[in-house]
Structure 1
């Protein structure tokens, strides 16, 4: 035993046989969420199915509902959420409780050439190669079914009258498009997409199997195939390999995989990989993926110590300034010789349409998708993609710009803001020609026309003095009218020269007025200030009262913010010079609403509510002369105690005060005054985003 040759003596020699009977159908199942001492051998297997090409297996196993560890109430609740109260043959749980669970497989490894199952018997080792190694984990697909049931119930409670961000037209024009030849690059993107992979997986049908337990006679019969069926000596061959060659056969060296590094920016680059690129490519990659970003956030993503001046030079090559934030250019997202993945529209047309959307956001906080689509005339799916890049849908407000206006950047870099302003003016002139629009079509509808930049300081001072004199005269006339008993209470309040009209629907708190491009006036046409006298103020109050009554007769409940939006739309739709009122303050609007048969509803919003003050001022129609007014007032009273209620709460209160109330009356009351979300009812416009 002293010599090196005797350090590892041979204890026993074993013959090894390769069994091939189950070589193409032997799988190893692993249960990683279950300890090895707790097997599923004695659990009743209800069903089994397999997709051989994808190596996907699903097993249904019974749950012991009589176990002391089983919560019967929870099991019944889960079954109720999944299947509802109605009985159907397609129900997941026929016993009205969760009495089974499904296990779904994932591949532990895709290369099983080095794995085998071996059995040892009578001094012989029989080895069978494995087809696959699958990890069986619980499937929670029943939760998806429960969510679908919940959404169906909510839709039924809403009675089909759910509030949408933008009402879709019932009748839609059919657009016929001919598919363009698919490029190789587009085909590769489509093949690698998640939707394509899901569709491909769904194409392979399930093969249903019959499960046999460990102690079943059929299982014992199948286990015999793990032994080599033919042991003819003529087929056996003596191993003539050297020990090193034999070891190399057993454990072949791992071949180094050649990792193809991306030739350009991609969505999967890590920050470490990103910072190895030139600064221009780093900025382009970030903007292409994020779409819209403040300059401060961009500097935070780059390496510390990066020169901000160099970043400013780079960002202007791949992005445009919108409300003080940087938005990636259209030609970066839609390069030449490409087309829309949705509709096949060429990139040049997409760029023009997206530039128009971005331009509108330089003028106002919110836009309406239908208005955009009517002008650029692109398919709805493309327009929606443009808006999703830079905006988010808001209830009754269309699409609002994602980020607040970055006034700090504009003040810190006025030269960049001015350069971007001039660039936007050039883009506007091109868009006017392409879409055959006038300058007025590009002005925001919820703000007055800005005055020209070239007005001198002396002219401004003179105009301000004239307005102040007119204001004093108007106040004196209003006072005389009150003394004479005319009852005129609402007066017209002139707006300052640089002060925006206070009927904007924007909730932004930025100091930059709406209707400006990156802090600069949006156009060069002077606003026609109309200084009305006392009679004009009286006319404006009468017209405003008439608009208030008609609006609340139609909508019943409105927030101050939503009422201002409707008023802006009304003003924008009127011909120039036809409106009796030119500038309106918030105080004047609220006074006009309260003078009409309306009341303010003091909704107790939660303390952490992020709604703007205009969104928390809620007004409701109080008196119409109908008996139904009493039920409407009772509903308002409920909302003074809580900002959201359940339908059964409304039904109970109505029954207490008015006796039996029909379902039609309750549906009418809720549809007129409320909106539904997640099983709760809110006054219109008060759903928190």
Structure 2
């Protein structure tokens, strides 16, 4: 029954043909016959499935399909025609038929045909949104239980976590699960930022994206691994988040203390750190690696970092009242200082919100003086120091054979992949290695800087004794000297040049090779070898990787 307007097309075509004939009669009678033109033959490429689908969905294809359908002749019968009346009578039932289903009023029939939608609602007791039902919680798997608890309370001790889990829960399984969703701060577990702020979440106060919230929250947690107290003003100057967001994050893990700033919510959990030294050390390495990333993102100057490490109060020490200095000969007062160098005793740094009621956390605890960890134990998340000062190695400092083999294998992989790297990069890679290791791995028993350096040397690397550029950190560099090819001797010549200068030129390197080995190195080989260990800057000067910024 599709309408057709072909007669309109016929009239339009006839008019155009007559007009074209009239125009051609006037101008083409005296013109010669047109010259023959070459015809180009084109072969179409095989049609892909995607192109075929697009062609079949186009209007042109459907129009050709409709035009190709054959017309079916239909005879029309009027309303009162005999044929129409007889067909219409077939739609009516006779009295002999069973019509029990239709003995209904129209409204009832319609209700049966299309029943109304009934919404079933279960009456559930109204509960506050911040309360977690333990009965519902224990129906979940262990990993989901721990994730729900940490998301709800934000900060918790491990002993409190085990008390909330079902009786008989395996401690090893709980430790494995809690490390997936939380990080260790002062011996307590704090939920990870990416769990609390997923990618699609924004700040309810300012609309800041989750990426900036996670970055700022990680920096605040790192600050609490360094000190019992932080100052909100100093935090805001680094993370550049709105004041409401900074306050909201601080309230999750700390409380306001007069003349101190913000104090971490719980006391240092020495019991946990003494019992699980392996996990504590792994978390310490993870925080070191995390800070390396945060310092680059926030562009924290090295001077401020050193001042912060030197002046802040160590985690695990008892807070003592400050005494007035009576004379210049007396011992210097131990005053906590912020990144800006101001003392926490200054009135300008005192938080004005000390009178407000701040949530004390999910579990009420008694505030006790912090216990001082003796030298026989690892202090979890304390001030960043050399691994030799913070790691306890079993068996009197002697590396077991299994640990030694694991360290050499790790060092061999790093040297083969990086060729040259500074000490902080070595620590970061080792922290990532620990994160991928399963609990109980031999690398988690404690490793010092000296053991890492010895394993690097046994794996074929060397510690470079070179010059550093001005404003450099003078951090030790490690490199792979021998790869087993013809350039081993030439690499030694390259490293010797950097002993007397922190920058060299390619021509000087080639000249020194000729003097030392008598070989002539092509420009391409010289450039290839130098790019493995060096970066080139403006002016054609070459520097060792790790001594200058490569940007």
For Structure 1 versus Structure 2, the TM-score category normalised by the shorter chain is 0.3 to 0.5
Structure with the larger strand share: 1
Structure ID, larger Rg: 2
TM-score, normalised with respect to structure 2? 0.37
Structure with the larger helix share: 2
